Structure 1
Amino acid sequence: MADENLSDNEREELLRQWWRDNWAWIVGGVILGVGLLIGWNYWGSHKQRQAESAGQLYSDIEAAVAAGDATKAQEKLDALIGDFDSSAYAQQGRLLLAKSHVEAAKFAEAESLLRTVVDKSKDEELGAVAKLRLARLLIQDGKHDDAVKLLEPLTAGAFGAQAREIRGDALFAKGDAEGARAEYAAALAEADVQIDRQIVELKLQDVGGVVPASGAVQGTL
């Protein structure tokens, strides 16, 4: 090779020339890499601090609700929403305060919070929980068709059995025994369910359905 015929001085001069031609790129690359590393570490620390702050505010809401201090709970929720409205903690805070409102018979306030979770939650599970709870409030308010429509997207998912049961409650409340019977039967037919089977079986029997001893469900007389 040509380089093998060069003297040590010539090789050294070539190395110096290469450095003169490329030093700016090399130094710039090192600086950029260090800057990216520092920026990434800062961003990670920033996100961690945000998560900790949001978690603390949620804990404050829990404590206020447990103490029966609705005013303080609302203040902490407002602070959580103000700084971290896109976080799951904000949606969990709304769900928690909505439950507290229901227990205090403040149904309008609870409905407003639940609708916000339904509309804003990026977490599908939290959104589904909000729909189930909102549907129960709608039934209580006589909005049976709205409850049935709200839960339609959930009937084929992990919350299918619960959605079916609540839809059955809505249909029963509006006098549609046949529709309620079909929904209760569908709820009991789910393989992996999060419902009280004995209660749903009683509901099914109340609307004319039959639950054989074998556990198979007959939705009609």
Structure 2
Amino acid sequence: MEVYSNENEQVDALRRFFANNGKALAVGVVLGIGALAGWRYWSGHEDTSAREVSAHYQQLTSALDGSKPQTLEAVAKFANDNSNTYGALASLDLAKQYVDKNELAKAATQLQSGIKHTQNANLQAVMNLRLARIQLQQKQADEALKTLDSIKGEGWTAIVADIRGEALLSKGNKQGARDAWSKGIDSEASPALKEMMQMKMNNLG
């Protein structure tokens, strides 16, 4: 670090600095202003794009009808084209339509795709729960258990325990099912869910 003995030397040093670097500073200021303007434009563009995507999502899903293949295709294209939360929500909506049509493989594929398209932990949890239920319907208990293992957060403990119990029971593991439901009952579950799990445990004998 350069040390100056008095104020005059500091002033002279500043003059030399601006004389030697004035052009570079001017360019830097211009670039800085340009970058700020660019950032503001980009932010505004992102906000506009997000609103447009949201509106498009609402439009497509409002028209979604399992009996009309063209609406399914439109939502599927939207989900494929949008690797974001709206794309994930579209996959979730589409999966429900496929479940209603008993096209479980297509529903599972949509959910797996949607899970990859969002970073929202709660949305991922919901999609994984639905995926696990579908896998149970497909007699894929081991896959369902793996899916349940990926769900984190105490808020999901009871629902995960309920489905886990079903998966274990389908494998013939009655004690495992009992333990899962017991854990669900001991968690912060709703009274209705606790009662349902208790009934399942009672039915085990």
Band of TM-score, shorter chain = 0.7 to 0.9
Q: What is residue 166 of structure 2 aligned with on the other side? A: 169
Alpha-carbon separation, structure 2, partners of 1:38 and 1:67:
46
Q: What is residue 194 of structure 2 aligned with on the other side? A: 197
Residue deviations 1:125-158, cap 9 Å, x none?
2222111111111111111122122212336643
1:148 counterpart = 2:129: no
Q: What is residue 34 of structure 2 aligned with on the other side? A: 35
| Residues 95 and 111 in structure 2, CA contact (< 8 A), matched pair in contact too | yes
- When residues 19 and 140 of structure 1 are mapped into structure 2, their CA distance, relative to the original with a 3 A threshold, is closer
| Residues 180 and 207 in structure 1, CA contact (< 8 A), matched pair in contact too | no
Shift of 1:186: 0.6
Aligned amino acid, residue 55 of structure 2:
Q
Q: What is residue 123 of structure 1 aligned with on the other side? A: 120
RMSD across aligned C-alpha pairs, in angstroms?
A: 2.9
Segments of 5+ residues of structure 2 without an aligned counterpart are 1-5
Q: How does 1:20-59 map to 2 (within 5 A)?
A: 20-59=19-58
- When residues 155 and 200 of structure 1 are mapped into structure 2, their CA distance, relative to the original with a 3 A threshold, is farther
Alpha-carbon separation, structure 2, partners of 1:16 and 1:122:
52
Alpha-carbon separation, structure 2, partners of 1:113 and 1:148:
19
Q: What is residue 93 of structure 1 aligned with on the other side? A: 90
Alpha-carbon separation, structure 2, partners of 1:125 and 1:18:
55
Aligned amino acid, residue 42 of structure 2:
W
Residue deviations 1:43-70, cap 9 Å, x none?
1012112211221221123212268544
Aligned amino acid, residue 105 of structure 1:
N
Shift of 1:21: 4.3
| Residues 121 and 127 in structure 1, CA contact (< 8 A), matched pair in contact too | yes
- When residues 20 and 45 of structure 1 are mapped into structure 2, their CA distance, relative to the original with a 3 A threshold, is same
Residue deviations 1:150-197, cap 9 Å, x none?
212336643121111101011222322211111111111112559722
| Residues 155 and 164 in structure 1, CA contact (< 8 A), matched pair in contact too | no
Alpha-carbon separation, structure 2, partners of 1:140 and 1:198:
23
Aligned residues: 197
TM (norm. structure 1) is 0.76
Aligned-pair identity (%): 27
SS in 2 for 1:135: helix
Alpha-carbon separation, structure 1, partners of 2:175 and 2:188:
23
SS in 1 for 2:163: helix
Q: Which runs of 4+ in 1 moved over 3 A?
A: 15-23, 66-70, 118-121, 192-195
Aligned amino acid, residue 139 of structure 1:
L
SS in 1 for 2:155: coil
